[in-house]
Chains A and B, each alone.
Chain A
Amino acid sequence: MNKPSFLQNGILLWRNLTSCGGAFRPEGRDYRRAFLINVMLLAAMGVFGLFTLLNLLVFNDFEVAMVDLLAFICSSTALIYFRTSRDVERSSFITTFIVGLALLVFLYLTKHYEYSLFWLATFPPFAYFLNGTKRGTLAVAMLFLPVFVMLVVNLGVWQPAPYELVSIYNISIAFIALAILVYFYEKSRHQAHVQLQFIKAREATEKERNRLLREMHDGLGAQLTTALYATRNEQASIDEVANYLQLALEDLRIMMDSMQAFDGDVATLLGQLRYRLERRIQQAGLELTWKVDDLPNFPAMTPQDALNLQRIVQETLVNTIKHAKASKISLVAKMKAPNCLKIQVTDNGCGFDDQQDGFTGRGLSNLHYRAVELNAGLTINTQPSKGCCVALLIPVAKTSNS
């Protein structure tokens, strides 16, 4: 029983250390950088501490031991500072600065002896992982510039370095430190990826649920309520109630259609909508002219876009069926330009005065709202007794012929 609890304690301690005592939650924005800062400071402490002891006790190099000790103290202070302040930006900078300076001083003192140059290779990961690409490049340049100057100036001055036990220590520990750095970077990157996927999936589910709730509330719920009240108050004939219910069922089917996988085929989306509304169009005595071109596929179009498009066209057609008192209606869908899809619904009905208050009501604002979400241009051209023309211009990104 003792051993696993010891291991568990170790894991808990590690989690505590890398998240500043739980201050950074895995779903938080800065968790990953905080994790990296802590891991890198811990690694720096380990390496500097180890070399303080090695230089003091084994290699008898007092100067380098002092540099290592100083660096060890600085990184411990930085770790404590980060733990209390939780200032990610500043701690990243401080960590990079300490490590860079320690490496530079180490090189200055030992020159190229003891294979000290190997250690420089551990700096770019530090710099980039903690500071991002821009500041990382700056930090690398600031360290490597003096290093190269030193190397060039000392060409012919420095003698070949001996290869001995201390070289092996330096080479192998530098390698291990580098491997550990990259390992933890990759690990935190993977964690972040998993976390991101999780958040995305949760958001998508949430969005979908809200959408379904809204539709059930506005569409189905409203229709069923109307049917129920009409039946209760015996205001409506059985035929009328049957019609309400039929509409509710048809709306439910359109909802089902919108839940099918969408792969960018707008022509079928429109076709399916016609198929679902055909009965109502015929019942309203409308003569429908259908002109849907062989449209290309729009792979960049999202299911959300498809839903908005479906709803705009559906509401436009239903408005005509319900309110326009028209005898003819037409739908045209074609490419207006290689990157612009045009869908136009025209009727010869009673039209309306779009300046008048009653018509700026919910139906139209819904259309505009959805058009904005779709990033499409929506124009409604109408005058009393002169019919109505609703045109939708949808910018479409790259297209491919299916």
Chain B
Amino acid sequence: MKKLGIVAAVIVLLLVVVIASTMRGSREPSAAPSSIPPSVLSQPGQDPDAFSPSGTPVPTSSLTQTDEPDVYAVAVAEVVFGLDTRDLDPAAYRDLLLADADPGLSATGRADLEALIAGRIPADELWQRMRANDQWSTFEASDVWEPGSWEQVVTSGQAEPGWALRNVTGIQTTHYVEGGVEKTSSRERTVTIGMRCSADGADVDRCYLVLIGATVVP
């Protein structure tokens, strides 16, 4: 049975390598520095009351523009775990995250990211039930770290300049109203965030979103 454990470890490593391969492969080779479109939601001076394509207001706190992987990963995690159903809808959250997608993602890479984001956001019907309870959540990050298996990817040359992977853990507190009484529920949450940040050889000037893991990469 120990051998099964070793195999499991190898599978995890292979998974990370696949992630690395995809991060590399998902870039458009022709993406030039000047072709990078700005993030719609995180540009300085943008009207905070801007509306998403779905017609609903987007969150007023846009993703942090930063070149620090730790800071960026926490910012993404705060959006992922900080849903507010009272005024927004699922499309608004999807748009917020996708607006910060790595501009070098290919159509396939973007589709993958869209699928991963879709798995993180409640479906419309459930969202409406949550909204009926005035449900909203906050996320307080307590730790951010680079997954151990990612280092092996980097040292083996699988990662290109700028690619970064971080795990973020913290406490999600969900607020809701039940029977006229305000209640809260808290639990620990962890998520793996993949990104491309500026580095020698990387054609971006800050961190952009590549991956929101469906599971936590060890």
**A associates with B:** no
